Structure 1
Amino acid sequence: MFDMRVDPEGNLLPGKTWDDSPGLPPAQTHMLLSMLDAPIAIDRCFVEACEDFVAGALLTELSAIESETTVPGAWITVAPEDIERRIALPASQQTAALRVLLDQGLVEHSPRATHVDGLRIRWPELLALIRRRAQERTAGIPWPPRRPDDPSAKGTAVASGVRS
């Protein structure tokens, strides 16, 4: 209810009269509340692992729900409406993101008789994929690093200011 003079049942609040202003228009109130709502956080490592922003967002949220309600690796039951409420991800995008996660083997799906299916994050596979993506992204970095004046270093390094 957007009328600031009444309680949720429509009763006039103490100290208020029907002549008082009802408050901001509903659209303006909704806009302000949406601006003050909790931000949506997305784990970058999940986006990079999935190579899909929306799948990474869904995986982040499933991880958060798992940590709030169960132990790692347990089945999570969450309705599509709850995901939409939590991260503003419509059902159609949830379906597409879930398909990416299933195809990559990062999530298991267990259909249930109700409209709320079970999902489980496959943590060993996810962590292995994150590790592999990190190795791919850093493959060109020589490791361990060597000092330029190290004689065992390949090639000859010339110290600054020294000419041959």
Structure 2
Amino acid sequence: MKQLITLAIIALFFSCNSNAQKKATSEEQEEFEITKTEDEWKAELSSAEYDVLRREGTERPFSSELLDIHEPGTFVCAACGKEVYKTENKFESGTGWPSFDRAIDGGVAYGSDSKLGYQRDEVHCARCGGHLGHVFNDGPKETTGKRHCINGVALKFKPAK
């Protein structure tokens, strides 16, 4: 009888531990079109770009020269050149970082982090996986209601022709 109970407990334990309930570990990473070693990224990016794009750092608020850009154009990933945002979707959030109410379709990938003790929606470049910033639900209500809070150092601006 003891063996039957032990077997039932073991079976119950394994049935409650399905793959659907497992969370991805930090070693498991999404595959991106462009992948490079950390040394290759360090050689190609400035130290500020590397800190934000590859180490998920955050630039100081109000330090980006992209804050005041309003002319028509496209913002691209500073690491790989993937088009991620358009000026027409940029707005003044007052937060100190370039803010957009939406990304270009297919330009970004989403993830999450809880480094600050709570869950945040993270934004990455869809081509190289570079960290761009985070998405919050306090954007313009008349459009999407979203605020893509993006590190300016993770972007480069290409004016419209």
Q: Which TM-score applies when normalising by structure 2?
A: 0.27
Pick the structure with more helix per residue: 1
Whichever of the two has the greater Rg, that structure is: 1
Greater relative contact order (Cα 8 A, min sep 6): structure 1 or 2? 2
Pick the structure with more strand per residue: 2
